[in-house]
Structure 1
Amino acid sequence: MKESVIEKMLHINTSKAETRLDNVRYYSRYEPTPYDALETLFKHYTVSKKDHFVDFGSGKGRFSFFVNFFFNCACTSVEIIEEFHNKALLNFESYKKRNPGAIDKLFYVNEYAEKYEVSKFENKFYFFNPFSVNIFIAVVNQIIKSVESFGREVEIILYYPSDDYINFLERRTAFTHVMDIPSKDFDKDVRNRFSIYRFGESTDSLEEEFTLNINIKSVLYQETILCKKTKDK
């Protein structure tokens, strides 16, 4: 689907790539993820309305509107550049008229990514090379800290991933590589892909383990009672 068609459908304006007019170092220019790339990602990557994304270096908010409109997901957009943050807010004002239910699911934060405190309900984190690897390391450490405090399974989604990002995740963290999803022109440039990494343990598996342990203890208890009754006879 053409960019202009989706923009019109969502009542937003996020297409124009822009160079920032500021002095904030280590943060990249604004360049939105192409819609055809996002369509490819979600053909192969399953999400649910229970998921809460965080888009770091979110610019004008394109990713948040896409995942909310098509999958009813929540998303927090974190953007340091006030100019882009304000444009995201304008887009949100227009978008929520199209989709009023988004009011409780979309949030926009004007803050340094490395200072953003990850919430316990946020479980999917999106990056399109928004800043230097040093900032990326600080952000990932915040994610890990959150998981250690509030156990859950989280995933990092990298679009057009840099080698520095991947080297850090694979060599210096417990994140494991889940899959790569090739995007358009992957045959010409292998970086045209999404790389997905996972860390932590899902609450579903924890609940299953808890139930299993309870059942095992129940069986052992019943066996103990039976043996005691047999001996008493």
Structure 2
Amino acid sequence: MTDQEMDKILRIRTEGTIEILQSSAHYNRYEATPYSVLDALFEIYPLRSTDHLVDFGCGKGRVPIYSAYRFGCIVTGVDLNGRLLQEAFFNLAEFRATQKRFRGSIEFEQTTAEMYEIQARQNVFYFFNPFSVEVFQTVIHNVLESVELHKRQVDVILYYPTTAYVYFLEEQTPFERIEELPIPALSIDNEDERILIYRYES
């Protein structure tokens, strides 16, 4: 099934890559995670209805809406860009209008990732290279501080991870890699085309 076909099923519009001038050079362009990648991820990492996923750099809302649709879980999308979030809210309204029995929960927040306050029950954090490693480091430190205050297991999911992201997690944090998933259907020669999952429990 193509991305366009899945968008049509969900009644949302999340396709495309958009270069938008951000207020910070640390934030990258919008590009939605392909549904095929999400399907591959969820085959090995199914979410529970009690999970609370946070998508940093959620853009138009594909990952939050699809995750909540598939698993009935709680999802928060965080993005700095108001134009993208306006489209995310529109997509959410269209999705909810056709999903009368939907039991998940989806919220969007407009803020910088560094300033976003990690909530006590959030336990899965998703990143598709939304910002620089400096911002990523701050976000991960915020997650770890939250875990120390509210003891729990937390997972970090990286799609198409940069070397800097991987080095930081593996060399400077207590997170341990628990899964690596290549995405050969999209790219044969690019070793960065993969999903990495890390876990920490305090």
Shorter-chain TM band: over 0.9
Distance in 2 between residues matched to 1:26 and 1:131, nearest whole Å: 5
Distance in 2 between residues matched to 1:165 and 1:124, nearest whole Å: 17
TM-score with structure 2 setting the length: 0.95
Match of 2:121 in 1: 121
CA contact (8 A) 1:52 1:121 kept: yes
CA contact (8 A) 1:96 1:103 kept: no
CA contact (8 A) 2:178 2:197 kept: yes
Q: Where does structure 1 lack aligned partners over 5 or more consecutive residues?
A: 202-233
Measured after TM superposition, the shift of residue 47 of structure 1 is 1.6
Match of 1:11 in 2: 11
**Which structure: larger Rg?**
1
Distance in 1 between residues matched to 2:115 and 2:97, nearest whole Å: 31
Higher helix share goes to which structure?
1
User: Which secondary structure does the structure 2 equivalent of 1:83 belong to?
Assistant: helix
Task: Kindly indicate whether residue 82 of structure 2 is the aligned counterpart of residue 82 of structure 1.
Answer: yes
User: Which secondary structure does the structure 2 equivalent of 1:42 belong to?
Assistant: helix
Distance in 1 between residues matched to 2:103 and 2:96, nearest whole Å: 7
Which letter does structure 1 place at the counterpart of 2:192? R
Higher strand share goes to which structure?
2
Measured after TM superposition, the shift of residue 14 of structure 1 is 0.4
Distance in 2 between residues matched to 1:101 and 1:86, nearest whole Å: 24
Measured after TM superposition, the shift of residue 186 of structure 1 is 5.0
1:126-155 Cα distance to aligned partner (Å, 9 max, x none): 000000000000000000000000000000
Which letter does structure 2 place at the counterpart of 1:167? Y
Which letter does structure 2 place at the counterpart of 1:141? H
Match of 2:30 in 1: 30
Match of 1:226 in 2: none
Q: Where does structure 2 lack aligned partners over 5 or more consecutive residues?
A: none
CA RMSD of aligned residues (A): 1.4
Match of 2:145 in 1: 145
User: Which secondary structure does the structure 1 equivalent of 2:12 belong to?
Assistant: coil
User: Which secondary structure does the structure 2 equivalent of 1:37 belong to?
Assistant: helix
Measured after TM superposition, the shift of residue 93 of structure 1 is 0.8
Which letter does structure 2 place at the counterpart of 1:95? F
Q: How many residues align?
A: 201
CA contact (8 A) 1:12 1:91 kept: yes
Equivalent runs, 1:80-229 vs 2, <5 Å? 80-100=80-100, 105-183=105-183, 184-185=185-186, 187-201=188-202
User: Which secondary structure does the structure 2 equivalent of 1:75 belong to?
Assistant: strand
User: Which secondary structure does the structure 1 equivalent of 2:177 belong to?
Assistant: strand
Distance in 1 between residues matched to 2:76 and 2:103, nearest whole Å: 12
